[in-house]
Structure 1
């Protein structure tokens, strides 16, 4: 499509946008009396009106029913999580019994590693990406130490080539083949949080399996953002947070995937708790653990319903909108934002660099911009003028034009504010 850097053109795209009505579903902060341009849905999504409604329902049930809400609420609490199986499995490309919701992201990754990181003196290494999100780095280091290995020997990072911002796919495959029969686990972020690069999860999963390793994915920046086919890709496990693109609220519950091929493996260890026990016999308080068949069998404690309520509101909204429509708009609005950035760069002769891949198939809903020569003062200007974005050291702002609530006119307005910011600071 031929883009134009005009308000009229941006508004014409909004008129054609089949998802534009969802913008009214969300609450926006205001700066200087105006609704902000919100670019940090890759950190915390906006609150939806439905989220508040669903939380209020739980609060009302608690007030009116107390403990009986477990069985007699309109959405009974004891099986509340089962409502996620259908819509969430569609979002991540899974079978319904491969999905559960529980805990938070890093907790779930630790629990998954109980089952899928089982090092031996021969096979003990873990492959991850350079500059993984720090929580993943800390988690992997602690798991390796827990099993008695040296992180400097057991953790293999796939690095960027000198002078490049993104990891080459062929380098990932080459490193997996090189580590070979010493490799126990591949655990990578499906979308790199810093650059927005999308990894070829299907090919990497196959490569890991080819050398006898398990393969898991941290989908914090991928779930609700990119097309996922976890079941068909034969991914062993995955986990994701729900508060970024899926707008469930700060620090909220994590989604978890365990492939069906592992559901009936009695030799696969796991940390157990009573909510993962046979559902029909759970309240008999039996001494021996009999796990639920499916991903629910990895649950431990009964679930925090107040945190699940806004997440359920969100996944139902995703089911209405459909991932295909969301991805189509994501591609278009991200491309339009990229165009706007290049146009402003030409107008003010600035020196910023987009470090996110230019190929739409290799990026998600994010553009990371390296502000050569601009510095944090430009970020501060944007924030003070109603553009909520994200700063990452040493000199990068991350822009996430989330398709559910960002408009094309937002992209145009951002460009004008960015231009004024650069001009005012020089």
Structure 2
């Protein structure tokens, strides 16, 4: 209105919150909560062993770092890189997909660069769904899965992951009415927080159901290079017919220790990628060119037969064995995951079977305050995570054994009083 500012009358806005309601639906604030517990433990003088956040404690190889440093000095690399990613990056991603999974992709239409897979996970629903649509997501699941739906105004149908099904989603339990409404189903193998794995027959059933109901499969394969005991996680795009009904997220964060670089890619159905690119063209200008160049070097190293690619998998397998074997000796048996950088641990029996059973949050907090060992309570990933904690293998083996020893003392002290 002429001559009137929106600030003229603040009578009804004195307590304006400056916060969108949908932020309350983004999901768990457990990571911020655990961060506060860590500060409390440090103030109490505890030596912190942080097994909470899944952030690699190592960097990429020296060769990759050298390529990055040289690219940063090239003045030509300071123009806008473009949201789709450079031709060279997408071509190398396609070459790696063929090398690693025998999956052939058109790099211009079936590969899209991302600022880390979280970028794509956060924006995909906005690109392919309308408010009020429905998507199927796992419970427990990585927080952005449900959070991205809240941002987009999409309803979530939560698919429980339970021990009696080896933590695999029971596809046959999904009602026909849900399949009929769903735009996409999001799954994660090997998983986070639960390191469940899926095989070829499972993917074949999933693809058949997706084709029957015209539902997009969104597969998060962030841990493709973290398989143990000879296990090599497969791509869903290996499944016949999947390219027409699936997309798959890949990340350099865990596989190549490039978490801070923020780079990944999406592969699969070209129509879905085109929609996400259309959105990204309006909100970002792509990944910094030198980081794409470094990622190319990482993929070249992985495809070089003269170089060992077992480094990251071998490292986390040794850490897994160090922690799980030590916990077993302390009286807390935890299943050994076949992949990923996490262990999913059911609370010790004494804490669950007492007259007043402990919650995951109570266990994680009191463990941290008493011993300095930080883990994430399972309910932070969804209601089905209650009764569990997630433990990240992000410390050296000696520190993991020390953590297990402290946990053992905690179990003895508190478990015997239950």
TM-score by length of 2: 0.60
Quote the residue 2:275 is aligned against: 270
Q: Distance in 2 between matches of 1:244 and 1:219?
A: 11
Q: How many residues align?
A: 328
Q: Can you list the C-alpha shifts for 1:91-125, whole angstroms capped at 9, x where unaligned? A: 56633534442234343235544665479x9xx53
Alignment CA distance shift 1:66-1:365 (3 Å): closer
Q: Which of these residues, 212, 230, 233, is aligned with residue 236 of structure 2? A: 230
Alignment CA distance shift 1:275-1:360 (3 Å): closer
Alignment CA distance shift 1:90-1:133 (3 Å): same
Unaligned runs of 5+ in 1: 1-35, 71-76, 146-150, 277-297, 346-351
Quote the residue 1:250 is aligned against: 260
Measure how far apart 1:208 and its partner are: 2.3
Quote the residue 1:369 is aligned against: 345
Check whether the contact 2:189–2:195 (CA below 8 A) recurs between aligned residues: no
Q: Does 1:102 align with 2:103?
A: no
Q: Distance in 1 between matches of 2:364 and 2:57?
A: 26
Quote the residue 1:173 is aligned against: 172
Alignment CA distance shift 1:390-1:52 (3 Å): farther
Secondary structure in structure 1 of the residue aligned to 2:329: helix
Check whether the contact 2:117–2:249 (CA below 8 A) recurs between aligned residues: yes
Measure how far apart 1:248 and its partner are: 0.7
Quote the residue 1:321 is aligned against: 308
Check whether the contact 1:38–1:401 (CA below 8 A) recurs between aligned residues: no
Quote the residue 1:294 is aligned against: none
Secondary structure in structure 2 of the residue aligned to 1:250: helix
The alignment's C-alpha RMSD in Å is: 4.7
Secondary structure in structure 2 of the residue aligned to 1:128: strand
Quote the residue 1:208 is aligned against: 210
Check whether the contact 1:100–1:257 (CA below 8 A) recurs between aligned residues: yes
Q: Does 1:56 align with 2:69?
A: yes
Check whether the contact 2:253–2:259 (CA below 8 A) recurs between aligned residues: yes
Check whether the contact 1:368–1:398 (CA below 8 A) recurs between aligned residues: yes
TM-score by length of 1: 0.59
Superposition map of 1:23-422 within 5 A = 42-50=54-62, 51-62=64-75, 79-87=88-96, 90-91=99-100, 94-96=103-105, 97=107, 98-109=110-121, 112-113=124-125, 117=129, 124-145=133-154, 151=155, 155-160=156-161, 164=163, 168-169=167-168, 171-175=170-174, 177=176, 179-199=178-198, 202=203, 203-220=205-222, 222-226=223-227, 227-233=233-239, 234=242, 236-250=246-260, 252-258=262-268, 262-263=269-270, 270=275, 272=277, 301-319=285-303, 320-322=307-309, 334=320, 337-345=323-331, 352=332, 354=334, 358=335, 364-371=340-347, 372=351, 375-379=364-368, 383=372, 390-392=375-377, 397-401=389-393, 412=401, 414-416=403-405, 418-419=407-408
Quote the residue 1:284 is aligned against: none
Which segment is superposed worse, 85-94 or 53-62? 85-94
Unaligned runs of 5+ in 2: 1-47, 228-232, 352-357, 380-386
Q: Distance in 1 between matches of 2:78 and 2:337?
A: 50
Check whether the contact 1:187–1:215 (CA below 8 A) recurs between aligned residues: yes
